[in-house]
């Protein structure tokens, strides 16, 4: 059943809104409602968000828990920062594969208001100010023009949630259709895994070789792909070959489970995946 993604600054009222949604849907439907969030993982926010690798691990765990709970009968609410648009895109791909609708609830507050709410919390529940400031600075606000951020409900601190509109978005709207990169398809040839391994390795080698002579602003052309990679994204995200190899392993693992019948599209799909992950 549907997924509700709640996002916003730290201490912007996300958990309160998630609970309000849970109560509403439990009272108005016969469906079970699951809230998935940082608290359910027992993660210590000031430790997790101070370490990029630990933060990635938490995001991966949250996504895995959402994927496990999304089914035909239940409503899932993801209560976390969800501040990276690339991560929200991954969640969109997940619901496309599950063929279920979703919506985004954006708790919009000023950084001053959220900071005040943070300082009013119990000291054990507060974000360190440096962590708080860094998360606010990195926050990528949702944009309803992006299909993965739509339908978007922007909620101010004194607003009442538009429960009926959210319900209509979830239950009166068709799920986004699965596409080549999210729909499971039968393997078209015994050489698929060989082609997948070879093509993705060729893409990485092309990036590695071109990086030596590229400058910020260059778009890296990839043999066999009509897509290009921004060299500036590689620099600003400080992406090295080890990180690219990790992304390649993730792509291969996903594509093994959801293979494409057209191996000629693997290079394009992999470059699209890299661009979304690097953006």
pLDDT, tens only, 250-273:
888 888 777 776 778 888 888 888
Q: What is the pLDDT of residue 191?
A: 66
Q: What is the pLDDT of residue 110?
A: 92
Give the closest residue to 142 by CA, choosing from 110, 166, 107, 116.
107
- Beta carbons of 103 and 2 less than 8 angstroms apart: yes
Structure tokens of 209? Answer: 């070789």
Average pLDDT rounded to a whole number, residues 139-154 = 92
Average pLDDT rounded to a whole number, residues 13-30 = 96
Q: What is the pLDDT of residue 183?
A: 45
DSSP state of 212: T
Average pLDDT rounded to a whole number, residues 182-202 = 65
Structure tokens of 234? Answer: 């590689």
With a pLDDT cut of 70, the percent of the chain lying above it is: 89
From the CB of residue 183, how many other CB atoms can be counted at a distance below 10 Å?
13
Average pLDDT rounded to a whole number, residues 65-71 = 89
Average pLDDT rounded to a whole number, residues 200-211 = 83
Q: What is the pLDDT of residue 215?
A: 67
- For 227, the 3-state DSSP assignment is coil
Average pLDDT rounded to a whole number, residues 64-91 = 91
Domain at 3-182, CATH class: alpha beta
pLDDT at 189 over 50: no
Q: Select the more confidently predicted residue: 185 or 125.
A: 125
pLDDT at 190 over 60: no
Sign of CA dihedral 244, 249, 250, 255: positive
Q: What is the pLDDT of residue 247?
A: 87
- Beta carbons of 111 and 38 less than 8 angstroms apart: no
Average pLDDT rounded to a whole number, residues 10-15 = 96
pLDDT at 18 over 90: yes
**Range of 5-9, 27-31, 156-160 with top mean pLDDT:** 5-9
Q: Which residues contact 136 (CB under 8 A, 6 or more apart)?
A: 9, 10, 111, 114
The pLDDT tens digits of the residues spanning 212-253 come to 776 666 777 887 888 887 765 665 555 677 888 888 888 888
- Beta carbons of 172 and 27 less than 8 angstroms apart: no
Q: What is the pLDDT of residue 188?
A: 43
Compute the mean pLDDT over every residue in the chain, rounded to the nearest whole number.
Answer: 85
Q: What is the pLDDT of residue 62?
A: 93
> Domain-by-domain residue ranges, the chain?
3-182, 191-278
Q: What is the pLDDT of residue 180?
A: 46
pLDDT at 133 over 80: yes
Backbone φ and ψ for 64, nearest 5 degrees, come out as -65, -40
The pLDDT tens digits of the residues spanning 163-183 come to 999 999 999 887 776 654 444
Q: Select the more confidently predicted residue: 187 or 235.
A: 235
| Residue 49: C-alpha distances to residues 38, 43, 128, 142 (Å) | 11, 10, 10, 20
Structure tokens of 161? Answer: 């949630």
The model's pTM: 0.64
């Amino acid at each position: 059943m549907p997924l509700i993604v709640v996002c916003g600054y730290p201490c912007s009222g996300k958990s309160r809104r998630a609970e309000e949604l849970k109560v509403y849907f439990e009272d108005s439907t016969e469906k079970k409602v699951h809230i998935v969030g940082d608290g359910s993982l027992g993660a210590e926010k000031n430790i997790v968000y101070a370490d990029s690798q630990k933060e990635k691990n938490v995001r991966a765990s949250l996504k895995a828990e959402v994927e496990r709970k999304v089914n035909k009968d239940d409503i899932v609410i993801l209560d976390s920062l969800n501040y990276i648009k690339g991560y929200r895109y991954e969640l969109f791909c997940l619901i496309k594969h599950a063929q279920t609708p979703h919506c985004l609830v954006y708790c919009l507050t000023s950084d001053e208001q959220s900071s005040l709410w943070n300082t009013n919390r119990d000291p054990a529940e507060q974000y360190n100010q440096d962590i708080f400031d860094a998360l606010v600075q990195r926050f990528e606000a949702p944009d309803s023009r992006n299909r993965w951020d739509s339908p978007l409900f922007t909620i101010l601190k004194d607003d009442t949630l538009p429960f009926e509109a959210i319900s209509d978005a979830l239950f009166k709207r068709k799920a986004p259709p699965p596409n080549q990169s999210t729909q499971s398809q039968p393997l078209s040839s015994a050489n698929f895994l060989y082609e997948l391994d070879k093509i993705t390795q060729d893409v990485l080698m092309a990036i590695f070789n071109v990086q030596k002579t590229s400058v910020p602003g260059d778009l890296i052309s990839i043999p066999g792909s009509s897509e290009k990679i921004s060299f500036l994204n590689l620099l600003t995200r400080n992406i090295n070959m080890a990180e690219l190899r990790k992304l390649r392993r993730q792509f291969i693992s996903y594509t093994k489970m959801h293979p494409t019948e057209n191996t000629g599209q693997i290079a394009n799909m992999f470059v699209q995946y890299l661009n979304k992950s690097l953006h």
